[in-house]
Chains A and B, each alone.
Chain A
Amino acid sequence: MKKRHMIIASVALMSATLLTPALAQKKYDPGASDTEIKIGQTMPYSGPASAYGTIGKVQAAYFKQLNEQGGINGRKINFISLDDGYSPPKTVEMVRKLVEQEEVLVLLGTLGTPSNTAIHKYVNTKKVPHMFLATGASKWNDPKGHPWTIGFNPNYNSEGRLYGQEILRTKPNAKIAVLFQNDDYGKDYYSGFKDGLGDKAKSMIVAEASYEVTDPTIDSQIVTLKGSGADTFFNITTPKFAAQAIRKVDDIGWKPTHYLNNVSASVGSVLKPAGLDKSVGLISMLYIKEGSDKRWDNDPTMNDFKALIKKYAPEVNPDDGNATYGYAVSQLMAHVLKQAGDNLTRENVMKIAASLKDHQIPMALPGVLANTAADDFALFQTMQLVRFDGSIWVPFGKPQSVR
């Protein structure tokens, strides 16, 4: 018996010494090899949210160009982006296809709160990195319960807090009216906003109104809110309603300090339809560079981005906020994979994504840094307050950290 143990031990030792260096050099999970890294994604190219499809198109273009330039550490990116039509059962089907059939290494930027909710448990059971989701719900920051899921967008809650704190600082006697979409997203923002105002939330918020995403207009809500005598307005609405609200506020001659959530801060798709003159003075938050902003005319990343759009995705409008957003997500993904080197296991990729230290994504605003820790997956702690001057968002103050 003893002899056999010895033999086994020595064989194990020998093989360990022989194999360890080789193993340390290259480690692969499904979806990674010497030549390829497979990344999967679901995106609403059709259906009610198809405007977001731009994000997936830009990301596909980014990886295509990256491959032509040699890939990441010599490996080509195989980016598989499938249409889910913004229907959760379809997302489940497509993600299962990506994980079980295509065997992707990671999932990147799957879009939508309901669609991601549908796959949340599944990907965590399968231990597939579910990275940089295109949604800002707070629940993606749950390293204990769901260690394989990590969001991208600053969460709605923190952004709401940013505005609340800003109002306390600049206008402590404000009378505030709030309009919010009656769902998770709206309530996330609203509760963050109240947290930001702290004890004074009850006395400062004088009116609130909500709407359903399926409502045709929100005109009557705006009229009611104005009637409350509020001098500050926090506008928690998605693009279509945001444009309506901005227009209506101006039409009825209400002149509040108007805070608009980042979800609808796109100049091209919200402020232009609302009327640029009516949008002057709006306050919002930015964390990604805007294509229409002249400040970035000589910015190398912005130039790369515009060249990429021209060559690989000419149907995309570079001023569309979704386009630069998609670019920023791809840059972060490329950074994480580059860091992973030859250790391309799902665990290692996740570990790197969860230990970003003051990482400046080139397409993010200067000073807006990505930070994560093993017990905190909220990517962006800092945000930049901006004011609209009639043509672009102009930053004021330093990027602020909320936490």
Chain B
Amino acid sequence: MTAIDGLISALTSTVGDRTVSYNSASAAWDVYEGYTFALVVRAAIAAGGQIWYEDRFGKEVNSLVFRTSPGMLYSTVHPYTHSIIDFPGCPLLEAHVGVRVQGRSGVLHEADVLVLPSTEAELPRNKDVAPRGFRSIIAIECKYYAGHLSLHLARGFHGLHADLGVKNSYFISNLEAPRIQKYLTYHGRNWERDVVPNSRESNFFIGALREAFKKYQSSEGTLAP
């Protein structure tokens, strides 16, 4: 056995320990969606909002439960949580992680992070339907990859948002992906790269989300015409 073989064996046995779900391909994506949710909260605070967290049943909580893969907002399998965002004089908003949302075509899509009015979120909770994309305020597609990001991810994002019609949609990634950035820019889509803790780009992204929240406040709040 070479030294490399021995080291790979050591790596496999360390990573293979099931006390942490590193061995799940989806784990990285889930944690990255959680991080993006935190940036949304941060942007809402920066835009003057008050924040608290509720579970599916309206109970205020401070331990958060998100889905490992996208599900229906009305699901009661676990007490999935979301944040409530309260801007003075505006209808309440909710930020969710990993939920299905309905496009204009009637087809269901997945939103990694979705911000929508509480009134729109009440609809699925009460009637077991998906919220409507065109009523939503922010949708974020989160891509955490170890290596290359393929162009088909950008094509998928562009097509998805042509159908969803969410007011502010963003494609973010932990890596730089020049072809994706070029494609999305050409099609007028918002993107940010290198969105990871302590990066300048994370702060830029919070700024972009804050702008979206400011627009919401001017159109729906006391500043509204």
A binds B: no
B interface residues with partner A (beta carbon < 8 Å): none
Interface set of A (CB-CB < 8 Å, partner B) = none
